[in-house]
């Protein structure tokens, strides 16, 4: 079983106008409106959220963070082998790849307390001279190399904290339906649901089969800032879930990923893989974007 972000394939198709991808469902009752201040309509919150995501990608794309990621395989009750556990430490960053958008990269440097390479910012140094075709291809090889440390028997690279935000980015949100989330108030912000409609989907499984996603985000109504995300994707063969909490960083004044929880399960398999990742040591670097990239093909995956 393979789960991959099919960014290259998705970008080959035209983007529908933004208005086509927005469906607003009003869920306010007259009683609730009388008891509390009237919330701004969803049509006015969405542009702020989109503008925030665009700016976040540009700002976060200039940073690299350290990820501490603990994965475990949970077996059914009574299973004799017990849980399997792995702890990974990696560098994580986003890079704006011309023609493909903001692409996540992970570089594992330690597995279960054992160094798997020399400790240096290998991904950062790759892009310091520009996002050339050779740099991107080498970074993808690095990420594929790191994905083999995932446990649970499924090859996957969708376990990244910025996954849900990719559906809100300019090149994807035209194929996503947005609607009002649950009516109750949340300290984390306004809840907005999203459902992926366009095919091909951003995530693919084995054999390049589409895996449509849905989820919700928590948004500050005034600024559009996103404080939490939940994403789920499932079909007859697999279930995947990625939950991310963001925290306001005083130094950068940005809402940065703080904690990611993920879950992966193959249909018919009683065990499941669970992961918890935390992010720290954010630091900036400067990337000079180059137009030297070769045209994307269908075979590449981040």
Q: Locate 135 and state its tokens.
A: 């740099």
Residue ranges making up the domain that contains 178: 18-27+41-284
Residue 261: Cβ-neighbour burial (10 angstroms; 0-12, 13-18, 19+): middle
The answer to the question of residue 33 being in a domain is no
SS3 for the chain is CEEEECHHHHHCCCCCCHHHHCCCCCCCCHHHHHHCCCCCCHHHHHHHHHHHHHHHHHHHCCEEEEEEEEEEEECCCCCCCCCEEEEEEEEEEEEEECCCEEEEEEEEEEECCEECCCCCCHHHHHHCCCCCHHHHHHHHHHHHHHHCCCCCCCEECCCCCCHHHHCCCCCCHHHEEEEECCCCCCCCCEEEEEEECCCCCCEEEHHHEECCEEEEEEECCCCCCEEEEEEEEECCCEEEEEEEEEEEECCCCEEEEEEEEEEEEECCCCCEEEEEEEEEEEEECCCCCCCCCCCCCCCCCC
The answer to the question of residue 265 being in a domain is yes
Residue 20 pLDDT greater than 50, yes or no: no
The answer to the question of residue 261 being in a domain is yes
The answer to the question of residue 291 being in a domain is no
| Interval 97-145: pLDDT, tens | 766 677 788 888 899 999 987 656 666 666 665 656 676 676 667 667 7
How much is the pLDDT for 116? 83
Residue 184 pLDDT greater than 80, yes or no: no
| Interval 37-92: pLDDT, tens | 678 899 999 999 999 999 999 999 878 899 999 999 987 765 555 558 999 999 89
Q: Which residue has the higher pLDDT, 249 or 63?
A: 249
Confidence label for 282 from pLDDT (cuts 50, 70 and 90): very high
The answer to the question of residue 34 being in a domain is no
The answer to whether residues 192 and 47 touch, using CB atoms and an 8 Å cutoff, is no
Distances (CA, A) of 137 to 8, 92, 175: 13, 16, 28
**Closest residue by Cα to residue 273 from 162, 175, 159:** 159
> Which of the residue ranges 44-53, 108-117, 149-158, 291-300 would you say has the lowest mean pLDDT?
291-300
Residue 237 pLDDT greater than 80, yes or no: yes
The answer to the question of residue 140 being in a domain is yes
Strands laid side by side in the 63-74 sheet: 114-115, 101-111, 84-97, 63-74, 272-284, 254-266, 238-249, 226-234, 213-219, 190-196, 176-180
How much is the pLDDT for 137? 73
* 209 contacts: CB under 8 Å, gap ≥ 6: 235, 237
Q: How many domains does the chain have?
A: 1
Task: Report the distance separating Cα 247 and Cα 255, nearest Å.
Answer: 5
| Interval 195-219: pLDDT, tens | 999 999 999 988 889 999 999 999 9
> Which of the residue ranges 10-14, 62-66, 247-251, 269-273 would you say has the lowest mean pLDDT?
10-14
How much is the pLDDT for 74? 82
Instruction: Output the pTM of the full model.
Output: 0.77
How much is the pLDDT for 112? 93
Q: Locate 125 and state its tokens.
A: 């140094």
The answer to the question of residue 81 being in a domain is yes
Average pLDDT along the chain: 78
Confidence label for 156 from pLDDT (cuts 50, 70 and 90): confident
Residue with tokens 């984390």: 188
**Closest residue by Cα to residue 197 from 183, 179, 181, 217:** 179
How much is the pLDDT for 291? 38
> Which of the residue ranges 4-8, 188-192, 292-296 would you say has the lowest mean pLDDT?
292-296
The answer to the question of residue 85 being in a domain is yes
């Amino acid at each position: 079983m393979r789960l991959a972000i099919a960014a290259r394939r998705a970008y080959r198709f035209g983007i529908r106008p933004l208005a086509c991808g927005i469906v607003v469902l009003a869920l306010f009752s007259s009683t609730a409106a009388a008891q509390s201040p009237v919330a701004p309509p969803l049509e006015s919150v969405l542009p702020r959220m989109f503008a925030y995501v665009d700016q976040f990608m540009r700002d976060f794309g200039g940073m690299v963070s350290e990820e501490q990621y603990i994965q475990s395989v949970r077996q059914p009750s009574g299973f004799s082998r017990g849980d399997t556990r792995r702890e990974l430490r990696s560098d994580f960053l986003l890079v704006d790849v011309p023609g493909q958008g903001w692409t996540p990269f992970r570089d594992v440097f330690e597995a279960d307390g054992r160094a798997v390479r020399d400790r240096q910012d290998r991904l950062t140094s790759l892009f310091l001279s520009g996002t050339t075709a050779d740099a991107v291809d080498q970074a993808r090889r690095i990420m594929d190399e790191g994905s083999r440390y995932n446990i649970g028997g499924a090859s996957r690279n969708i376990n990244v904290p910025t996954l849900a935000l990719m559906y809100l980015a300019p090149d994807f949100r035209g194929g996503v339906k947005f609607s009002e989330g649950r009516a109750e108030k949340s300290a984390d912000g306004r809840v907005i649901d999203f459902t992926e409609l366009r095919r091909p989907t951003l995530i693919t499984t084995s054999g390049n089969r589409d895996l449509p996603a849905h989820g919700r985000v928590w948004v500050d109504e005034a600024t559009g800032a996103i404080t939490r995300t939940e994403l789920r994707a499932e079909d007859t063969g697999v279930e995947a879930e990625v939950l991310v909490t963001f925290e306001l960083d005083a130094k950068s004044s940005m809402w940065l990923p703080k904690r990611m929880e993920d879950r992966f399960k193959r249909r018919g398999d009683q065990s499941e893989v669970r992961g918890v990742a935390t992010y720290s040591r954010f630091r900036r670097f400067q990337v000079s974007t180059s137009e030297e990239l070769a045209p994307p093909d269908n075979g590449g995956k981040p």
